[in-house]
Every structure is written in C-alpha cells, then in structure tokens.
Chains A and B, each alone.
Chain A
Amino acid sequence: MADDARLRRDLQGEVDRLVAECKASGLDNAARYLADNRTAVVEIAIKARSEPKTRDLPSPFVYSMQ
C-alpha cells in the first residue's frame, strides 16, 4: 500500500513536471492535455508503470509514429 501511494505521488510529480516543461517549451497541446486530464493521466501512468517491462509494441506502422 505504501508503495502504491508512493508510486502515485511520484507520478503526480512527474506529470506536473511534464506540464511545466511543455508550457516552457510552448507545447500547448501536450501541456493542456496533461494538465486538464491530470487525474486520468496519472491513473494511466500507474497502470503502465505497474506492468512488467515487455516489448509489447503496436504494429510497426503505429510504432514508427509514436
């Protein structure tokens, strides 16, 4: 539980840093998305970081764009 709370805290901090960095770089789309949807983004990030690090990549076409 303590680990879960710390992961959440860490990722909230990471999203806030990303928002600040995007704003500073004039990347308004990313800044607005990450800031306006912070709660959902943090939930997505927690799930992503909780999964094993496998190479489950999308199709080469999609991957080359992401």
Chain B
Amino acid sequence: MKVLGLSFGFHDSAAALLIDGRIVAAGQEERFTRIKHDAGFPHRAIEFCLRQAGISITEVDRIVYYENALKKFDRIVWASTVRELQKSTGGLRDRALALWNAATKPDDVPPYLKSVTHSWFKLNKFDAVGKISDELAVSRKIVAYVDHHDSHLAAAFYTSPFYQAAIVTMDGVGEYETAVIAVGRGSEIERKLAINLPHSIGLFYSAFTAFLGFEVNEGEYKVMGMAAFGQPKYYDEVRRLITLRDDGGFEIEQSCFEFLTPFDLPYTKEFLRRFGEPREPEAEFAAQRSDLPEDLTDMEAARVLSSSRHYADLAASVQLCTEELVLHLVAKASAIAGTRNVCLAGGVALNSLANGRLIREGGYNLFVHPAAGDAGNAIGAAASYYHRAAKQPRMQGLASPYLGSPLDTAEVEAAVATSGFDAVRTYSSNEALVDHVAGLLADGAVIGWVQGQAEWGPRALGARSILADPTNPAMKRIVNERVKFRELFRPFAPAVTAEAASQYFDFKTNVTAGAPEYYMLAVHPVRAEMKGVVPAITHADGSARVQIVTAASNPTFHGLLRAFERRKGVPILMNTSFNLRGEPMVDSPRDAIRTFSISGIDYLVLGQTVVSSRVEL
C-alpha cells in the first residue's frame, strides 16, 4: 500500500511516502524552493518522494493531509466568539453576538474573523482535499485527512522503536488541541487527555520568544541558547502564569496573552506591566565586556551588559517553567501508560533542554520524532491513515534520519565544473577522503560537508553540515561571525562517536540507538574535566546538544570523527547546519556551492570531491 502524507498551508510544508509500512522518502519543501519555512503546496517535495520510489502519482493509493481544515476554522470562529463575549458585559453580551449575526456587510463581522475569512478564501484553505485533488490531478476519492494531533501522535509513536509507550504531543495549536496525552500499543493509539486552546505551552513559549526580540517559529532555539547566560530570577513571576492540574493537564493565565484572536503580538498590556519593555529585535547581546566592540564607551557597554543580563534571566525563567510543565505532562502520561517508554512530537518536543531533563532526571526511555514540528506530520498523516483507517500491521520504525535528497555524482560534477573553483580534488576511497579532511579540520579549516541523503528534520546530522575543530576556543566566534553570520551568543553542537560519547558527556543513563541523542535533540552536561578540551561546543552553562554517530548509521561521518581523533585525540567535531542565517539547509550540490562561495567556509566536500576556496588544495 502506497500512502503519501502531506503537510502544507501554514508553515514547514513537507511530503512523505510510506510504502507497505516503510518510509521510502520524506522531504521538506523549503529545501527545494529555498524559501525558509515554505508553507506553499509541496510540489517539489512530492516530486522528490515519487522519484525516490520510482513511481508516479497515479500509483499512490491514498494521499493524506495532516489536519482537519474545517475544524480549524470552527475553532477560529469559536475563539472569535469567546473574545467578543469577553469584551462585552451584561446586556452588551447579546449585542456583541448580534453584531455579527446576520451580518450583511463585511465590516459587521468582527475584525479578526473578517481577516481570517478573507485570507482563507484568498489562499483556498477551506478545502484541502479539493486543493490536493486539483494540484495533483487525482480523484478526491483517494484524498483523506486526519486531525493535526493525530498526525503528531502517529509521527511520534509509529516511527519509534517501542511496541508500547506513552505519547505526548505539544505544540502551538492544531485544530482546537494544543497538547495530547495518549497510549500507544502495537498499531493502536488511544487518547487519554487533550488540552485545548487557549491553554498552550507552545504559544506560551512563542509569546516570550517574540517578547525577547526573536521571530516566532524560528527564534525558539535562540531563547534556549540565551537561557544559558541567565539565572531564573523571574521564575516566580513566570511560574504564576501556569497552573498544573492533577489530571496531567495545565492552564495558562490568559490576562497576559492574546491567544484567541491575535492580530500581531501574542502578549497584552498586562504582560508588559509584569515583564517590562520587550527586547528590540537584533538588539546587541553580550555576556561580558570582551564580547562587545572595543570602541564602545564604558557607559554604553554597561547598558548592553545590564540589558543582556535582564533578558537572559527572563529566558532562563521561561525555559525552567517550560521544562517543569513538560516533566509534568510526561510524568502523567507515563503513569497512565504504565511504562517509561515515552514518545514525543509537536514543536515543543524540539526543546532539547527539556528532553535532556526527561532523560537524566525522569529516567524515561525517550523517542522524539526528528522532524517533531509540522513537517513531521507528513509522515504522521500517512502513518495515522495506514494504521487507523487502513488497519495495516505496525509499520517499521525510523531506521535512519537520512530520508531526503541523495547526493548525485553527476550533479556534483556539473555543479563543480560550473562553479569557477579550480582547486578541486576527488578521492577514490573513503579512507583517503576522511584522512585528508580530518587533517584540514585539525589545521583549523571550516568545512562544508555534503554526503549521502539529506536529513529529515531541522538538525544537521552529518549529511548537510558545517564542521570545525571543537578544541579551538576561537572556533565558535569564527563560525558565528565569518560563516553563519548569526548572533554570537548562539552555541554549536558536537557530533561524537558512540564509542566515546559517555567519556565526554554526562547522560546519566545508557543511550540506546534511536534515542534523542542520535538526532541531536537532547542537551546534556559536558563532563567537568572535558569542558576545557572541547570549548567550542561547550555552551555558557557547560552543556551541549549532542549528536551520537555510529559506524552503522553514517559510516563516512563516523570515519571522519575517528580520523579527527587520530589527529587531535578527540572523536568530536563541531557540527552545525549547512546554511546561512535565514536560509534553509542546503540540499543540492548547487545549493552547497552557492553557500560556500558567499561564506567564509574554507573547503567544501561533496561526496568524494573536495573543493577549496584557496588557490591550492
């Protein structure tokens, strides 16, 4: 049975193809169109999936959309009604409703609802089934949809290695739901608890993300990074916004947030009264005087340092409260399911600090779908239909995160030939390649590394990565400033061989294949004695978001780590996504050449070919 799952229309469009219970291909549209978080119809991702399988769209048995569009619109109408009622009192309540009943003029409809109605008609969001049918020229009869959190639940559980597990999904909002607790067993998923809008941990975190001057759906990682520089001094104020319920649920204090009918900002005047002025986007951030330009006056420097400390303290407080909420949800889910196997999905599952605590302090056997956000719902939608509607036996778990575009040798040759770079060398064996590249890394070079099929999910896992020497204390600044052009406070992650991982990082448990550490989705402390050994990947609080690499999962990358170890005594590389700030990760050889040519990367490795930005290789 061939099932194509699709996610599009909101953010992070994607396609995934499931054939007889095996994930054949999965790709995110942004990688092909080069538009970050592309929300458009995923034509290119679909083409890629079909090409990988060697089939045409007519051979697909079922196409499944990742959410229920009309139910989402029902929620928007409900939220708008509630908001109108909240704004009105006494006899005005009836008038508020009457105002938009039997409206004959658009302006009689409340502004938020009018705006949404307009955009939904404009973008044809009401009829996802019809849109898919039209765009792909297939019968409506083969198109289905599943609810948003059912997609998340399926992505989390069916791709996990567990036969039985607690499942927790957490995001901004789907149709009505913002978090769900369920129990998975074999091919069955049974829901146990759902949290509905306006209570949303995802929107709560996003509101603070916006307040801290970062873009929502993009800057949440930056809040996590910033938190390491602060102390949770505002814990009490932030914690007061959350009520943890005995049944495992939670409530968010609504006076500070505008989650029902947001027009622009997700927080209210009351929020500003409690937390002060929001941080300006792109405002300077520094933990110490030496991080700031030398020509800054002492008074200006003091102002930046004080402001940075304040916002970092707030980030630390928000992060701590979020972790407590996640621990609360997972504890309840685990108790209900009667197992310590836990599967997570939804955007909040990308909070790698919370995941680290679940593993170390909760002792859970954790699985996090690597594309935990809405892109992952392409797999989730297909998997949900496959099991719950088509009643097929349990699909294979996720064998590898490398589900994306393969690296085509002919494309590499063509891209290099037209690149204008003359210093090119191709190696005939992996051993010679990794030995040469390890030498370059040991000598301080920054490497663009493109190998095999691209990663599924937002993390670079050694297929589309930028690599550098983690033992060089200056490397963090070099890559941030010269290569990625991003904020200096942001940390870099390590890739480490499985054999040596526990020597460097304190997992507090045995890490098994498929755990979040294999997908760079959990933060753990760097062992005290190793912090000075790998300063470029040790964050301000002594932690690191680890990726464990095995010879089985990625032999070439593992070989490179071993070769680097022979040179520098450390089986670790600094590993960050191969992209520039604000761009999607590179996908094709041409994307890689382009990024290489406009950044400060020293060498580009495309399969067996090494390209140098210097005159000689």
Contacts and interface: CB of A to CB of B under 8 A. Distances in A.
Answer yes or no: are A and B bound together in one complex.
yes
Interface of A: 11, 14, 18, 21-22, 25, 27-30, 32-33, 36-37, 39-41, 43-45, 47-49, 51, 53, 57-66
Interface string B193-228: 000000000010011001000011110000000000
Given A18-B126, A29-B78, A63-B10, 15 more contacts: A25-B70, A29-B74, A30-B70, A32-B77, A33-B100, A37-B100, A39-B104, A40-B103, A48-B119, A58-B263, A59-B265, A60-B218, A64-B206, A65-B259, A66-B119
A27 B210 CA distance: 32
Which secondary structure characterizes the binding site on chain A? Answer: helix
Interface size on B, as a range, is 35 or more
Contacts of B119: 48, 58, 66
B70 A45 contact: no
A29 B118 contact: no
Nearest to A65: B173
A33 B113 contact: yes
Interface string B69-112: 01111111110010000000000000000001111111011000
B216 A60 contact: yes
A43 B122 contact: no
B217 A36 contact: no
B122 A27 contact: no
Contact of B77 (A29, A44, A57, A64): A29
Contact of A66 (B116, B121, B265): B116
25 contacts: A22-B70, A27-B73, A29-B74, A30-B77, A33-B113, A36-B103, A37-B101, A39-B105, A40-B109, A41-B117, A43-B106, A44-B114, A44-B117, A48-B117, A53-B123, A58-B264, A60-B37, A60-B217, A61-B265, A61-B266, A62-B264, A65-B259, A66-B72, A66-B76, A66-B120
Contacts of B77: 29-30, 32-33
Contact of A49 (B76, B101, B122, B262): B122
Contact of A36 (B101, B122, B173): B101
A38 to B, nearest CB: 9
A15 B77 CA distance: 15
B568 interface: no
B11 interface: yes
Contacts of A41: 109, 117
Contacts of A40: 103-106, 108-109
Interface of B: 10-11, 37, 39, 70-78, 81, 100-106, 108-109, 113-123, 126, 172-173, 203, 206-207, 210, 215-218, 259, 262-266
Interface centre among A32, A57, A63 (most CB of B within 10 A): A63
B117 A45 contact: yes
B516 to A, nearest CB: 24
Contacts of A59: 216, 262, 264-265
A45 B189 CA distance: 39
Contacts, number: 121
B539 to A, nearest CB: 26
Contacts of B218: 60
A41 B118 CA distance: 8
A40 B106 CA distance: 5
A62 B210 CA distance: 12
Nearest to A24: B70
Contacts of B173: 64-65
Given A33-B113, A43-B105, A59-B264, A64 B10 contact: yes
A11 B120 CA distance: 13
A2 to B, nearest CB: 21
B81 A29 contact: yes
B122 A51 contact: yes
Contacts of A36: 101-103
The 5 closest A-B CB pairs, nearest first, are: A48-B121, A48-B122, A40-B103, A27-B74, A30-B74
Nearest to A40: B103
A64 B116 CA distance: 12
Given A29-B77, A66-B10, A44 B70 contact: no
Given A21-B70, A44-B106, A62-B263, A53 B122 contact: yes
A44 B329 CA distance: 42
Nearest to B262: A62
Contacts of B217: 60-61, 64
